Structure 1
Amino acid sequence: MMEIKARGPYSFEETLRYMKRQDDCLYTVKNDAVYKAESFGGHKVLMKLTAGAEDSVQIEVLFNEGASSEDIRDYCIEWLDLGYDLESFYEFACGDQRLGRMVEKRHGYRMVGKVDITDAFLWAILGQQITMSFAYVLKRRVVEYCGHHLEYEGERFLLMPPAAEIAAIHSDVLREMQISRRKTEYIQDVMKGVDAGELSKARLETFEDYGEVLKYMTSYRGIGPWSANTVLMRTLKFRNAVPVGDAGIKNAIRLVDGMDAAPSRAYIDQVTDQWGEFGMYATLYMWETL
């Protein structure tokens, strides 16, 4: 059993609230606990996350094939963004008329990320121009098809397959899953890029400049500004990333600003440009207004 204290405010209840809204096949929420299977260098692990002391999360390792406690701890810190100085964002948000109310309402809410960039890219492509609920259905079909899992006390916990394995799925199989022809091509191309190292996490983490990494990622077919920013937010933790063209941001600004019609792109850019280094968390909290 280990307990991890966040840097600044953290609410496990807010993490649970977010996770319960999702239908992500890569974790399970039950009885106010989160169960997550992961592979660390081929060593399968099953974690159980529950609320810890103030601003903390408690991790119980239910099954472990040999992963180190340090790797598990580091994974959870990255996954739940526990190392981020959330107080600095709160200081900024309290001076912003759009964000101030949500900081109070969702105090301690942190970004639930996607540590595995294969997961992040798959989700970013599947989520393009369809409902979130159907995107989760499609993701489950891909993950279940590959068959990686961990069994514990009669229950099956799915594991994310490697990029090469997803890239190797025949186009006809992906089409039978109801994934469009174009997205099928995007998935295969991007997964090949991840496997080759061109779009690997290690490669993308070498970029320090947001504009440069955005330009590099969007040079690949199937990765537009929205998809790239989604990965930059949830996996690479570029704090100034904002998912350009996101319907949620547009609807949130319209709601908060009391607009009768959807805001223009210029108006949205004017708002989001003010967020600067806090763009990632401003986006996260604006989504909560919906």
Structure 2
Amino acid sequence: MTALQWNVALPPGYRRGDVLAFHGRDQQGVAEQVSADRLRKGIMHDGLCVAFEIAFGPQQASCTADIDGAPAPGMAAALHAAVRNMLGLRIDPQPFAQLVANDALMAPLVAANPGLRIVQSATPFEALTWAIIGQQINLAFAIALRRTFIEQAGRRHSSGLWCYPEAQQAAQLNPEELTSRKFSRAKAETVLRLAALVTDGSLVLALPAGGDVAGISQALLAVKGIGPWTVNYALLRGYGYADCSLHGDVAIRAALQKLLGEDSKPDMARTEQWLRRYAPQRTMACAHLWASLQN
């Protein structure tokens, strides 16, 4: 085993509770385990099992990555990037707060949740597969499907923690291994189709130099079973893209209905038009709309 250790500075007002809540959704703790000041998470990287342990202090997070094997060149940088994703450090919330400082509708939402951040999945592949798997009316059922996917395609770290699979491990499954565990045929085929395309190089998930998401968006939309909502959610949770428009999200439309004090949810076209006023910071607008449903 190889252990990498490093520290990550946390900004003033950092909300670790949001991070722990996002990663602690599966109360069975199969691939993520949280406590009051600590997060453990397992992922696969370059075919190796990696168990992260992140201990939160007042000003920094102390990070350890225990790797079952010898890391390849460049792996440390990739693991550092995964931790930044998991800690929600990709999008600075301040530009959006400044944008809406005098906005009669949105400024109160920001004031109610100062410092709110977008917490991401460790990798784009994890975000994409969760976007596909998680499209269920019942969140508990969606989390159970995610757990099944991890146990079917992932590997177990030497510590016992399950590791979220890479595309290469998922591509080895056949649909029946998922449909026999309550996956719909369409959902199973979409997840495995995505995994196969990434594995054979037909689909590259890494952002090009400059961070332009247009090419990745178009490539994902060409995959059967992946639509605009899945792409936008993956851009948000997988890439930390600051200008995602989640106008197709039912919860966003419900939050907008609540914010506007109307009797019915606005349709997708109106929601999309309404969100445009917050470009290029629509991701944070969506984050605050989601959060407003908890108030």
Report the TM-score when normalising by structure 2. 0.84
Matches of 2:90 and 2:128, distance apart in 1: 23
1:1-290 map, 5 Å = 2-6=6-10, 9-21=13-25, 25-54=30-59, 56-61=60-65, 65-67=69-71, 71-152=78-159, 156-202=160-206, 204-205=207-208, 209-290=212-293
Question: How many corresponding residue pairs?
Answer: 285
1:120-174, Cα deviation, whole Å (9 max, x unpaired): 221111122432221111111111123501143xxx2111223133233222221
> Counterparts of 1:145 and 1:209 in 2: how far apart (Å)?
33
* SS of equivalent to 2:239: coil
> How far is the alpha carbon of 1:270 from its aligned partner?
2.1
> Cα 1:168–1:130, aligned 2, differ >3 Å: closer, same or farther?
farther
SS of the aligned residue for 2:127 comes to helix
In 2: Cα distance, 1:78 partner to 1:19 partner: 12
1:46-77: CA deviation from partner (whole Å, max 9, x where unpaired): 332232234x3332456775557655433312
Name whichever of 158-167 and 269-278 sits farther off: 158-167
Retained in 2: the 8 A contact 1:10–1:107? no
What secondary structure does 1:82 align onto? coil
Please tell me whether the aligned partners of residues 47 and 61 of structure 1 are also in contact (alpha carbons under 8 angstroms): yes
Aligned counterparts of 2:224 and 2:166: Cα–Cα separation in 1: 20
The answer to whether the Cα contact below 8 Å between 1:26 and 1:157 also exists between their aligned partners in 2 is yes
Greater mean deviation of Cα atoms: 86-95 or 248-257: 86-95
Structure 1's unaligned 5+ residue stretches are none
SS of equivalent to 2:42? strand
- Rounded to whole Å, the distance in 1 between the matches of 2:12 and 2:146 is 33
Q: CA 1:198–1:105 in structure 2 vs 1: closer, same or farther (change >3 Å)?
A: farther
Give the percent of matched residue pairs that are identical in Structure 1 and Structure 2. Answer: 23
| RMSD after superposition | 2.7
What 5-or-longer segments of structure 2 have no aligned partner?
A: none
Q: Any conservation in 2 of the 1:233–1:242 contact (CA below 8 Å)?
A: no
Question: What is the Cα deviation at residue 43 of structure 1?
Answer: 4.7
Q: Tell me, in whole angstroms, the C-alpha distance in 1 between the residues paired with 2:68 and 2:110.
A: 37
